[in-house]
A and B are shown apart, each in its own frame.
Chain A
Amino acid sequence: MIRAVAGRCGACGHFNNAGATLESAFPGMTTMGSGFASARASDGICTLHDVYLSDRAGCDRFEARAVRQG
C-alpha cells in the first residue's frame, strides 16, 4: 500500500539534493563516485527525517520551499 503524501520532496524546504552538498554529507563519495552523476538522478537528503531519498517521495510534513524574488 502506497501512502498518500501532502507534497513532493523536490519542492520541500527540508530537501537538499545539490551535488556539492551530497559530496560533503557522504565522506569518501568523490573517491569512486560523484554527486553530479546520472546514476543518482535527483535524489537528496531530507533534513527533517535524515533520510536519503528520491525527489518524488514525500510526506505529511511537507513545507513548501520559498521562491527567491528578484
Chain B
Amino acid sequence: MSARQSSVIDTGRLGWTELWRKEDWWAVWLGLAAALVAYALFANGSSIGWLAVAPAKWTTFSQLLDHFAANAARYIAQFAILLGLFSIAASLIGYPVRHFVPGFVLIYVLSVVVFAAGARDKAIYYNLEPPLIALAGGLVISNLIGLPRWLDAGFRVEFYIKTGIVLLGATLPFTLVVWAGPVAILQASIVSIVTFLVIFFTGRYLGLDRRLAATLGAGGAVCGVSAAIAIAGAVRAKKEYPPIAITLVVLWAIVMILALPLVSRALHLPAGVGGAWIGTSEFADAAGFAAAQTYGGFAATGAIAGTPDQAVWSYTLIKVVGRDVWIGVWALILSIIAVTRWDVAETGGGTDIGQIWWRFPKFVVGFLLASVLITFAVRNTSFADYNTVVRPGLVLPITTLRTWAFTFSFLSIGLTTRWRDFAPAGAKPFLAFTAGVVVNVGLGFVLSVLVFGNYWATLAK
C-alpha cells in the first residue's frame, strides 16, 4: 500500500476532544455558563438583566433613539461579551475566526435592527414578528443584494440555535419535561415513523436508490438537514445524495415557517396546540423555532389563546425531546440494514452501536441540565415570589439572551439561503419528499389538534 498525501481528518468522536471540537458541546458550555452566572447573580441579590438588554416597545423614532442612548454601555458590553465568547468557541471548533468575527458583527447589528423593528408598537398590526423579519431580511440580503461569501463563517445557524435551546432549558420547568415528555415522544414517534416510511416507499416506487430514499426519509421525518446528513453517512450514500435532501428540507422548512403559524392562527389554535403541530411537522430545529416563536408572538398580542411560552415549550418538547434525540437510533437501524441487506458493492466494514451516543445531539444534555439546575434552584419559591422576584430577576433576562441567540440563527438562515447555490433536487425526489410533507402535516394536525389537543392547550397551566 502506498502512502498518500496527508489530508485533514476529524476524529472528534473519539475521546475527549469532542468536548471542545463539536459545536453541540460549545452550545452546552456557553448556555450552562450563562445560566449559572445568571443564577449566581440572582442568588446574591443582583441580576444578569443589566447585560440582557433589548429594545423596549416604542412608538416614535425618538423614543427608540433615547433608549439606545440611555443603554449604550449595556449594548456595548453585551456585544463585546458575546463576540468574545463566540469567537473563542469558533476558534476551537474550527471555524475561520478572522472571517467569523466580521460575520458576527454584521449578525449582531442586523439583530439590533430586527429587535427594534419587532418592538415597534404597530408591528403587531402587520404580523411583523421578529423571526419573520429576520428570515425575510436575510433572504433579501443574500439573494438580491449579496454579501461576500467568506462572511458565512459568522452565520452559524446551528450553533446559535443550539446555544439558545440550552438557554431555553433554563426557563423550562423540569417537571414539565417529565410530565409532557412521554406524550411528546409518543406523538413524535408516530409521525416520524409514518413520514419516513411514506417518503422511503414513495421514493422506491418512483425508482430512487434505497440510500437516497432513506436520506430523504430521515430529512423529512427526524430533524431535517442534520438527520439527512447523519443517515447518508450511516447508509453510505453517494456523495450527491445529501445535497438533494438539503435542498428539499430547506425549501419545505421555509415554506412551513410561514404556513404553519398562519394556518394555525386562521384555525384559532391555542398557543400550545399550534406549537405542538409545528414541532411535529417542521423539519429543522431553527426553522421550527422561527415558526413557534412567531406563533407565540401572536399569543402575546391576544390574537390566539394561550401564552408565548406555551407555543415555544410544546414545540421544544416534541421537536427536541420527541424527535432529535432519536437520530442515533435511526442511524444504527438503517446502517445495519444497509450493511447487511442492501448491496454493498464497493465498501465494507461493519456498523457500531456506539453511534447512538456519537450522533446524539449533545446540546440536549445542556438543555436538560439547565432545566434541572434552575428548577432545583427555585424549588422552594412560592408562586407569588416566582412571579414578582424570580421571573423578572432570573427568567426574563435568560429569555432575552435566548431571544438574541435565536435571532442570530433566524438571520443566519436567510443570509445563507442562496437559492442559486442549491443542488437541483429532481422531480422524483421532490415528489417523494412532498408526499411525506403532506402526510407529516396532516398526521401532525390530527395528533396535535384532535387527539392530544386538550393536553397541549393546557400545557403549563
Interface residues of A (CB under 8 A from B): 1-10, 13-22, 25-34, 36-46, 49-60, 62-68
| With known contacts A2-B349, A27-B423, A40–B94 Cβ distance under 8 A | no
Instruction: Name the distance in Å between B319's Cβ and chain A's nearest Cβ.
Output: 13
* Further 8 A-B residue pairs, CB within 8 A, beyond A32-B287, A43-B230, A64-B4: A16-B7, A39-B359, A40-B359, A41-B13, A43-B232, A49-B347, A52-B242, A65-B6
Task: Give the complex CA separation of A60 and B237 in angstroms.
Answer: 18
Q: Which 9 A-B pairs have the closest CB atoms?
A: A13-B4, A43-B233, A33-B225, A3-B348, A32-B284, A18-B8, A34-B158, A5-B348, A38-B24
Q: B241 contacts which chain A residues (CB < 8 A)? A: 52
| With known contacts A58-B349, A63-B4, A34–B239 Cβ distance under 8 A | no
Asked if residues A59 and B347 are in contact (CB atoms below 8 Å), the reply is: yes
Asked if residues B159 and A28 are in contact (CB atoms below 8 Å), the reply is: no
Q: B349 contacts which chain A residues (CB < 8 A)? A: 2-3, 5, 8-9, 54, 56-59
Selected contact of A15 from candidates B9, B228, B240, B363, CB within 8 Å:
B9
Q: B2 contacts which chain A residues (CB < 8 A)? A: 63-64
Instruction: Name the distance in Å between A24's Cβ and chain B's nearest Cβ.
Output: 10
Selected contact of B233 from candidates A13, A36, A53, CB within 8 Å:
A53
Asked if residues B158 and A37 are in contact (CB atoms below 8 Å), the reply is: yes
Selected contact of B225 from candidates A14, A16, A29, A58, CB within 8 Å:
A29
Asked if residues B230 and A39 are in contact (CB atoms below 8 Å), the reply is: yes
Task: Give B223-253 interface residues, CB cut-off 8 Å to A.
Answer: 223-230, 232-234, 236-243, 246-247, 249-250, 253
Asked if residues B23 and A36 are in contact (CB atoms below 8 Å), the reply is: yes
Asked whether B422 is an interface residue with its Cβ less than 8 Å from the other chain, the reply is yes
Q: B233 contacts which chain A residues (CB < 8 A)? A: 40-41, 43-44, 52-54
Asked whether B337 is an interface residue with its Cβ less than 8 Å from the other chain, the reply is no
Instruction: Name the distance in Å between A45's Cβ and chain B's nearest Cβ.
Output: 6
Q: How many A-B residue pairs have CB under 8 A?
A: 243
Asked if residues B158 and A28 are in contact (CB atoms below 8 Å), the reply is: no
Selected contact of A14 from candidates B4, B6, B159, B238, CB within 8 Å:
B4
Q: B156 contacts which chain A residues (CB < 8 A)? A: 30, 34
| With known contacts A16-B9, A50-B238, A63-B1, A33–B361 Cβ distance under 8 A | no
Asked if residues A52 and B237 are in contact (CB atoms below 8 Å), the reply is: yes
Asked whether B66 is an interface residue with its Cβ less than 8 Å from the other chain, the reply is no
Determine the residue in chain A with the shortest Cβ distance to B226.
Answer: A39
Task: Give the complex CA separation of A32 and B284 in angstroms.
Answer: 6
Q: Mark B144-165, 1 if CB is under 8 A from A, else 0.
A: 0000000010011111000000
13 A-B pairs within 8 Å (CB atoms) are namely A26-B229, A27-B246, A28-B421, A28-B423, A33-B246, A36-B23, A36-B93, A37-B361, A39-B227, A40-B359, A52-B236, A53-B236, A64-B4
Q: A62 contacts which chain B residues (CB < 8 A)? A: 1
Asked if residues A38 and B236 are in contact (CB atoms below 8 Å), the reply is: no
Asked whether B385 is an interface residue with its Cβ less than 8 Å from the other chain, the reply is no
Q: B14 contacts which chain A residues (CB < 8 A)? A: 42
Q: A56 contacts which chain B residues (CB < 8 A)? A: 349-352
We find that the number of chain B residues with CB closer than 8 angstroms to chain A is: 84
Find the residue from A29, A42, A54, A64 having the highest chain B CB count within 10 A.
A54
Asked if residues B242 and A29 are in contact (CB atoms below 8 Å), the reply is: yes
Task: Give the complex CA separation of A68 and B3 in angstroms.
Answer: 11
Determine the residue in chain B with the shortest Cβ distance to A61.
Answer: B346
| With known contacts A4-B348, A25-B239, A64-B1, A38–B225 Cβ distance under 8 A | no
Instruction: Name the distance in Å between B111's Cβ and chain A's nearest Cβ.
Output: 18
Q: A66 contacts which chain B residues (CB < 8 A)? A: 3-6
Task: Give the complex CA separation of A18 and B229 in angstroms.
Answer: 14
| With known contacts A2-B349, A5-B347, A37-B361, A54–B234 Cβ distance under 8 A | yes
Task: Give the complex CA separation of A26 and B13 in angstroms.
Answer: 21
Q: B421 contacts which chain A residues (CB < 8 A)? A: 27-28
Task: Give the complex CA separation of A40 and B237 in angstroms.
Answer: 13
Find the residue from B250, B346, B416 having the highest chain A CB count within 10 A.
B346
Selected contact of A30 from candidates B96, B155, B361, CB within 8 Å:
B155
Task: Give the complex CA separation of A64 and B3 in angstroms.
Answer: 5
Asked whether B291 is an interface residue with its Cβ less than 8 Å from the other chain, the reply is no
Task: Give the complex CA separation of A4 and B344 in angstroms.
Answer: 12
Asked if residues A63 and B9 are in contact (CB atoms below 8 Å), the reply is: no
Determine the residue in chain A with the shortest Cβ distance to B416.
Answer: A31
Q: B237 contacts which chain A residues (CB < 8 A)? A: 51-53
Task: Give the complex CA separation of A10 and B139 in angstroms.
Answer: 38
Asked if residues B11 and A10 are in contact (CB atoms below 8 Å), the reply is: yes
